Amino acid sequence: MLGIESTAHTLSFGMVDMDGKLSSSFSNLFRPEEGGIHPREAADHHCLKASNLLENIMSTEFFNSNEIEAVAFSQGPGLGPCLRVGASIARTLSKVWNVPLIGVNHCVAHIEIGKNQTGCKDPVLLYVSGGNTQVIASSRNKYRVMGETLDIGIGNMLDKFARTQGIPFPGGPEIEILANRFALNHDINANFINLPYGVQGMDIGFSGMLTAAERKIIDGNSLESICWSLQEHAFASCIEVAERAMAHTGKNELLLGGGVACNSRIREMAEIMCEERGAKAYWPEKRFCIDNGTMIAELGRLLHKVGYSTNLSDSAINPMLRTDHTEIIWD
Ligand code: ATP
Ligand code: FE2
């Protein structure tokens, strides 16, 4: 199964064999020279990089075009112009190789690759990426969103804060380095800087803590201290909602997914919370937390096994697709 990811900044091709053995993805990340991601510029980037990436994956040992059973692509959610590039490549390849086309839900793919990698069975998922922040649990054939961001995604918040400090996209990894440096060199309890904490019931707001963090820098606090503080507030709010979801559903597995799940501090918080309630925390390898083609291939594989495919006439992209729109028809 070939999987194509193109929802936003990353164009990526990945593969999985029919037993669920994952290959590495071949990816290229669009980094804007300044400002945020302009959808058309990201789509142009994907067009430029596509043939090289495809050549690279096709020249690996894992790849044999005669053995490709289907081509999966991210049908949504995401940026329209970017999604269209991946969908066009997928339609072409499915035609050339005469194999089924499978449109998949990007958010659900983040969940399924985590389950494949970690072996957890019925987790509460904390999906923390650039565009999305959701606490999810499966119930009656759908992944239900139990809580989510009220404004921007957590990664988006970190990236925006980073941008105001001259740190290029993606800002999350650099914020992690600065925060770790702060924790290493300071008494974090004595130097903790309060920011607005955005939990509202099962939902979370991040824009208040972002604005406050920017002000704290203007007030003269060090960048490292604010990076630490921002991570603490943002991650604690997600873990709090995830814990409540576990308590109410009775589930005892927590799975992290999405690009922000690369962060060692959110992993540590997840582990502490789970230990305290006799549950277990899981996360996939970093290369499968960030957007990647392999996760699209993995959900494609699960759908293919139950005979699902997408007709050409139904293969239009859906930028507004949600996690809970997709019915779980696979095992
Ligand atoms: P989605 O479409 O699922 O919302 P996305 O397009 O935002 O995904 P991902 O690759 O899942 O893409 O996530 C990217 C985000 O992850 C960026 O905001 C980036 O800053 C953040 N990120 C990556 N590594 C880290 C890290 N170590 N710590 C914090 N944030 C991180
Ligand atoms: Fe993603």
User: Which CATH number goes with the domain that contains 46?
Assistant: 3.30.420.40
Q: Could you tell me if residue 84 is inside a domain?
A: yes
Which amino acid, 187? D
3-state DSSP: the chain helix, strand, coil percent, rounded to 5? 45, 20, 35
- Block means of pLDDT (10 residues each) for the chain, length 331 residues? 97 97 96 90 98 96 91 98 98 97 97 97 97 96 97 98 96 98 91 94 98 98 97 98 98 98 98 98 97 98 98 98 97 84
Quick check: CB of 259 below 6 Å from ligand 1? yes
Whether residue 126 lies inside any domain: the answer is yes
Burial of 4 (0-12, 13-18, 19+ CB in 10 A): buried
* Domain count along the chain: 2
Per the prediction, the chain carries an average pLDDT of 97
Do residue 268 and residue 130 come from a single domain? yes
Residues 119 and 251 in one domain: yes
| DSSP calls for 139-178 | ETTEEEEEEEBSSS-HHHHHHHHHHHTTPPSP-HHHHHHH
Residues 297 and 228 in one domain: no
| 181 in a structural domain | yes
The pLDDT value recorded for residue 146 is 98
DSSP 106-144: HHHHHHHHHHHHH---SPEEEEE-SS-EEEEEEETTEEE
Q: Closest ligand 1 atom to the C-alpha of 7?
A: 2
Note whether 140 and 150 are within 8 A (CB).
no
Token reading at 210: 């972002």
Q: Which strand ranges, in their side-by-side order, compose the sheet holding 280-282?
A: 142-148, 133-139, 124-128, 253-257, 280-282
- E strands within 243-291? 253-257, 280-282
Residue at 88 is within a domain: yes
All residues at 6 or more sequence positions from 69 whose CB lies less than 8 Å from its CB, including other chains: 1, 18, 99, 100, 304
Q: Is residue 330 part of a domain?
A: no
Q: Is 123 in the pocket of ligand 1 (CB under 6 A)?
A: no
Asked, for residue 222, whether it belongs to a domain, the answer is yes
Same domain, 130 and 51: no
Contacts with 59 (C-beta within 8 Å, 6 or more apart), sequence order: none
- Same domain? For 92 and 137 the reply is no
**Ligand in nearest proximity to the CA of 29:** 1
Asked if 98 and 133 sit in the same domain, the reply is no
Supply the range of the domain harboring residue 196: 111-287
Rounded CA separation 29/45 (Å): 9
Q: What is the pLDDT of residues 3-27, one digit of tens each?
A: 999 999 999 999 999 999 999 999 9
Same domain for 6 and 42: yes
Ligand 1: distance of its center to the CA of 9 in Å?
Answer: 10
Q: Which helix (H) or strand (E) holds 271?
A: helix 264-276
Q: What is the pLDDT of residue 25?
A: 96
Q: Is 128 exposed, middle or buried (0-12, 13-18, 19+ CB in 10 A)?
A: buried
Q: Is there a single domain that holds both residue 142 and residue 223? A: yes
Q: Are residues 201 and 249 in the same domain?
A: yes
Ligand 2 centroid to Cα of residue 129, in Å, is 6
Residue 137 counted as domain residue? yes
Whether residue 130 has its Cβ less than 6 Å from ligand 1: yes
Q: Do residue 84 and residue 219 come from a single domain? A: no
In terms of domains, do 25 and 134 share one?
no
The pLDDT of residue 299 is 98
Q: 291 CB less than 6 Å from ligand 1? A: yes
| Cα 75 to Cα 7: distance, rounded to the nearest angstrom | 8
CA of 82 to the centre of ligand 1 (A): 17
Report which secondary-structure segment, H or E, holds 72: strand 71-76
Work out the number of other CB atoms within 10 angstroms of the CB of residue 113. Answer: 26
pLDDT of residue 331: 84
Strands 124-128 and 253-257: what pairing? parallel
Distance 259 CA to ligand 2 centre (A): 7
CA distance 40 to 1: 28
Residue 331 lies in a domain: no
pTM of the model: 0.95
Residues 139 and 280 in one domain: yes
